[in-house]
Amino acid sequence: MRRRDLLGGLTATAFARNRLDEAAALIDKFIKSGEVFAAALLVRRQGRVAKEITPRTVFLLASITKPMTAAGVMLLRDRGALSLEDPVRKFIPEFTGGDRDLITVKHLLTHTSGLPDMLPENTELRKRHAPLKDFVAGTCRAPLLFKPGTQVKYQSMGILLAAEIAERVTRTPFRDFLRQELFTPLGMSQTSLGLGGRRIAGTAKCQVPESSDWDWNSSYWRDLGCPWGGAHSTVGDVARFLEEFVQPRLLKPETAREMIANQTGLSDRWGLGWMIKPSTFGKACSARTFGHYGSTGTVAWHDPEKQLTCVLLTTKPASDSRHHLLGPVSDLVAEA
How many structural domains compose the chain? 1
- Domain interval for residue 100: 39-335
Q: Determine contact, residues 112/151, Cβ cutoff 8 Å.
A: yes
Q: Has residue 56 been placed in a domain?
A: yes
Kindly state the average pLDDT of the residues 170-199. 98
Q: Has residue 331 been placed in a domain?
A: yes
Q: Has residue 178 been placed in a domain?
A: yes
Confidence (pLDDT) at 2: 58
Q: Show Cβ contacts of residue 91 under 8 Å, excluding neighbours closer than 6 positions.
A: 82, 164, 165, 168, 169
Kindly state the average pLDDT of the residues 123-152. 98
- Give the predicted TM-score (pTM) of the model: 0.95
Q: Determine contact, residues 188/237, Cβ cutoff 8 Å.
A: yes
Q: Has residue 29 been placed in a domain?
A: no
Kindly state the average pLDDT of the residues 293-312. 98
Residue 184: which CATH number? 3.40.710.10
pLDDT one-digit tens code per residue, 309-333: 999 999 999 999 999 999 999 999 9
Q: Has residue 20 been placed in a domain?
A: no
State whether residue 154 is helix, strand or coil: coil
Confidence (pLDDT) at 211: 75
Reply yes or no on whether the pLDDT at 13 is more than 80. Answer: no
pLDDT one-digit tens code per residue, 24-63: 999 999 999 999 999 999 999 999 999 999 999 999 999 9
Q: Has residue 21 been placed in a domain?
A: no
Q: Has residue 324 been placed in a domain?
A: yes
Strand ranges across the sheet with 39-45? 48-53, 39-45, 308-314, 298-303, 290-294
Dihedral Cα 120, 123, 124, 128, nearest 10 deg = 150
The DSSP line for 180-243 is IIIITTTT-TT-EES-TT--GGGSPPP-S----SSSTTSHHHHHH--TTT-EEE-HHHHHHHHH
Reply yes or no on whether the pLDDT at 281 is more than 60. Answer: yes
pLDDT-derived band at 209 (thresholds 50, 70, 90) equals: confident
